[in-house]
């Protein structure tokens, strides 16, 4: 009987009963009428309080300490971040060692951002793990997909990496590019949409 009742409860529970941030990490779409949708905005404003402090900090250690609070993971002392840096959530961002992030970058990380060791990120780079359906009827639905930047990749100034994209190890994204598809290891890509220019 207990097992049957538990099964009924599981079957009757809607996806909205599960934690919205877990659902986002699993790549589940979030409709605008989701019962927990308000939590995303609330979390963003909590992150903003820390961002204001971080973006006004003048010591690299203070920047790393505040970024550690924002991401919920310790940022290694080998990481250098030139503020301002803008993040809408933070807890879904993972940053490896010897990473350099230059001025004025934007991370929308509800879908998950992984930056591996040795990555270089130039000024005004946007990492956008969130999108929306093309259909006007569903356009306010949030579609989360992770971005993964592998070891020693270099993302050029003002480049935009769209949701669901993996940048391969040692690869270079030319300045001003818009990357909408996965980039293999050891290549240079550029343009809008970005295409392979040459192998390294």
Residues annotated as part of the active site: 132
What does the alpha-carbon distance between residue 11 and residue 49 come to, in Å, rounded to a whole number?
39
Give the Cα separation of 157 and 173 in Å (integer): 9
In 3D space, the residue among 104, 112, 166 whose CA is nearest the CA of residue 194 turns out to be 166
As a whole number of angstroms, the distance between CA 99 and CA 139 comes to 35
CA dihedral sign of residues 35, 88, 149, 125: positive
Q: How far apart are CA 177 and CA 137, in angstroms?
A: 30
Tokens read off for 48: 């903003």
């Amino acid at each position: 009987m207990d097992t049957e009742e538990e099964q009924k409860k599981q079957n009757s529970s809607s996806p909205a009963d599960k934690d919205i941030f877990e659902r986002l990490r699993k790549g589940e779409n979030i409709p605008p009428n989701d019962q927990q949708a308000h939590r995303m905005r609330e979390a963003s404003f909590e992150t903003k309080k820390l961002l204001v402090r971080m973006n006004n900090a003048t010591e690299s250690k203070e920047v790393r300490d505040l970024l550690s609070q924002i991401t919920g993971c310790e940022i290694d002392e080998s990481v250098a971040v030139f503020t301002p840096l803008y993040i809408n959530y933070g807890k879904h961002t993972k940053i490896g060692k010897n990473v350099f992030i230059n001025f004025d970058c934007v991370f929308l990380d509800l879908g998950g951002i992984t930056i591996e060791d040795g990555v270089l990120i130039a000024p005004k780079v946007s990492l956008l793990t969130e999108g929306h359906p093309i259909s006007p009827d569903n356009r306010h639905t949030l579609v989360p997909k992770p971005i993964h930047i592998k070891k020693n990749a270099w993302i050029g100034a003002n480049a935009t990496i769209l949701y669901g994209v993996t940048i391969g190890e040692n690869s270079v994204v030319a300045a001003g590019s818009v990357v909408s598809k996965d980039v293999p290891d050891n290549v240079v890509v550029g343009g809008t949409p970005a295409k392979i220019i040459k192998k390294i």
